[in-house]
Structure 1
Amino acid sequence: MSMHFKFAVSFVALTLAGAAFAQSSADKPERIRGEIVSFTGSTLKVHRRSGDTVTIDMQESSGVNAVKAIKLADIKPGSFVGAAAMPGPDGKLTAKEVLVFPEAARGTGEGHYAWDLGANSTMTNANVDTVVQGTSGHDLKLSYKGGSNTITVPDNVPVVTLIPATRAELTTGKKVFVVATPTAAGTYGGKFVVVEKDGVAPPM
């Protein structure tokens, strides 16, 4: 694994510590989800889900990765995962997506905190202690510094892992997840991009 990929993976893991990245703060990174309009030179334009189009300046240090779909059965005790989840009527957490981190990213962004994938959504970056087969998926017992929880992962929920990508893959129409910092000029400074590859869009 290259040093660049290690850096990129570690950075995205850190960005998942969403509690530190309040989107209302002008000097804090934001998570941008949408579709690529264009990528020319170092300028990436993304049409966000919210309806607006933003301009992102990609620096030399801006990491680019993609995601690869894997099976729910690939999550084993000892895996380090990031699971976005929503509470059900009974308060139990049900996953909306699960990212299985490469070993190089183990331990980074660890914890349980608010997320912005939907109302009341949370993100848990944690070690998988146990995996129990249920009637509608798998129950993951997760532990992290300071706590633990159990998240139900339905069979139809996206499960992905990170793989290397290049800027040549930032083409019009692809779905992206971008971590970027707002600038005074109204644009963004790109920190990290996860781009769709082989039809697999970043679910986070």
Structure 2
Amino acid sequence: MILPIVAYGDPVLRKVAKDIDSDYPKLTDLIANMWETMYNAHGVGLAAPQIGLPIRMFLVDTSPFADDEDLGPEEQEALKGFKKVFINAKIEEETGEEWDFNEGCLSIPDIREDVKRKPQLRISYVDEDFKPQTEIYDGLLARVIQHEYDHIEGVLFTDKLSSLKKRLLKNRLDKISKGKINVDYKMRFPNIKKGR
């Protein structure tokens, strides 16, 4: 089932999400619905807060990036087969020299900006079978995970921009929160005036 994606301005996107346990109601259905929602919106990641749930879960499928000719064959290969669910994730460490990459977000349609992030991370989480994992990722894979991880921490990519850039985007962000934008996927807007 395709769920509406919560737009910029909704308070759920600002909450630090809570851990869940293995008896979370209908978890398998929720994960299936999140995959369907993400693919329908042509995303490479989706976090539970983006569908209105303040829980520490996100999923990532980086295969659309595997065709990027700017990447080396090893990184393309790593991106091609990468599809994972992260539950109760905790980034243990981020290392390396920060680098810029143009990011966007399904909750903030039509805005893309360069964001600085460290190139490598170590993350611990439980998978969808609640088996504990600790893994190291780098490059574009790390970046997608960092972006989705930020969502469960109540952080948006626009928070990482300069104050000047934020001021320049303010009107566009306000319009998104009011639903004054054309998107080709289902969304829920926090500031739509009722009765219009």
Shorter-chain TM-score above 0.5: no
The structure whose residues are more often strand, as a share, is 1
